[in-house]
Amino acid sequence: MSIKIRSYEPGEEREIISLWNRCLTRDPISLEVFERKVLLDPNFEAEGFLLAEEDGKLLGFAYNIVRKYPILREEVEKDKERGWIVAFGVAPEARETNVGDRLIQASIDFHRERRKKVILYSPYVPNYFFPGIDAEAYPHEYEVLLRNGFTEIKGAEGLAMDTSLWPDFKYPADIKEREERLKREGIEIKVLTTQYLYPLMKFLEKHMPADWYRHARELLLHNRKTQVFIAVKGREVVGYCQFWGGEGYEWYMPGSHFGPFGVREDMRGKGIGTMLLYKCLEAMKENGIHNAFLLWTGEKAKRLYERFGFKVTRVFKLMKKNIEA
């Protein structure tokens, strides 16, 4: 096969989306999503979006990125050494060829040329599509990564979970007792209002991952305070969660995507997370939303979600490869 590996060229976006959707059948995207999450990402480089082509037909892709612009207080020193393969796919008709290997080798070269020492697959924030590779859905791509020196990051498995809110919303039987117990401790769960905007942003800045700060800020710039729930003690915000919709330009509208969701470390174990989850899911149902899902959680938090009827629907393996600069 006379296959060549080249970079994205403007004007072939629809062809790329068609290829993506044939390769990654569980994770299709639209033109709007490609525009927002790829082309308009400030770190995007055409040279990083690699395509395998034979006689004008696209057979696979690998989307690579390195961070040129820091994300708030993201670990700047680590970003100097790491890059990401955000997504990777091979067309069904090319899986018996070396297309996948050539794309990954070209990806490694892309990161090496930028003096990176570690390549991650694929939790690039804020514009990731999935937290790692779904080996069950994409066994070919998973094997290609393994064959080219990628290894699973121990203890970093990502779990996607879903639950139904309609017609019956499942929650712990003692939920009202929990709420009263928290109130006696001076802790309340509230819908976000203007007076708590500054305390919330300071809470996120100090206690939560940098991309959570950015995500919440973007949501609130669209005046979506009623989609944000906070746990407050006195004038302090000690926990938070939100819900939102899709991945296109109006991603911030109400929808079935739950999270991010977190409680200040020294306030955990009191049931605050349980109440935040309850209030948020209740509001989602009141908005006519029939289902709720989260794309990425860990084994520890899984137990809390299971109490509300969530079930694991996908498992993602986070992977990395060390390279010489």
pTM, two decimal places? 0.94
Strand order of the β-sheet with 118-121 is 4-7, 49-54, 57-65, 82-90, 118-121, 319-322, 151-152
Do residues 8 and 152 share a domain?
yes
The CA distance from 39 to 60, in Å, is 18
In a domain, 99, yes or no: yes
Query: How large is the angle between the packed helices 272-286 and 175-184, nearest 10 degrees?
Result: 120
Q: pLDDT digits over 153-186, tens only? A: 988 889 999 999 999 999 999 999 999 999 999 9
Per-residue model confidence (pLDDT) at position 86:
98
Do residues 150 and 196 share a domain?
no
Do residues 278 and 141 share a domain?
no
Do residues 143 and 224 share a domain?
no
Do residues 139 and 188 share a domain?
no
Q: pLDDT digits over 258-291, tens only? A: 999 999 999 999 999 999 999 999 999 999 999 9
Do residues 20 and 143 share a domain?
yes
Do residues 22 and 107 share a domain?
yes
Confidence of residue 71 (pLDDT cuts 50, 70, 90): confident
Confidence of residue 73 (pLDDT cuts 50, 70, 90): low
Q: How many domains in the chain?
A: 2
Q: pLDDT digits over 31-52, tens only? A: 999 999 999 999 999 999 999 9
Contact 114, 81 (CB under 8 A): no
Amino acid 75 reads: E
Do residues 78 and 139 share a domain?
yes
Q: Quick check: 325 pLDDT over 60?
A: no
Do residues 37 and 133 share a domain?
yes
Q: pLDDT digits over 101-144, tens only? A: 999 999 999 999 999 999 999 889 889 999 999 999 999 999 99
Q: Is the dihedral of CA 177, 207, 190, 172 positive or negative?
A: negative
Per-residue model confidence (pLDDT) at position 79:
87
Structural domain including 101 reads: 4-156+317-322
The CA distance from 275 to 269, in Å, is 12
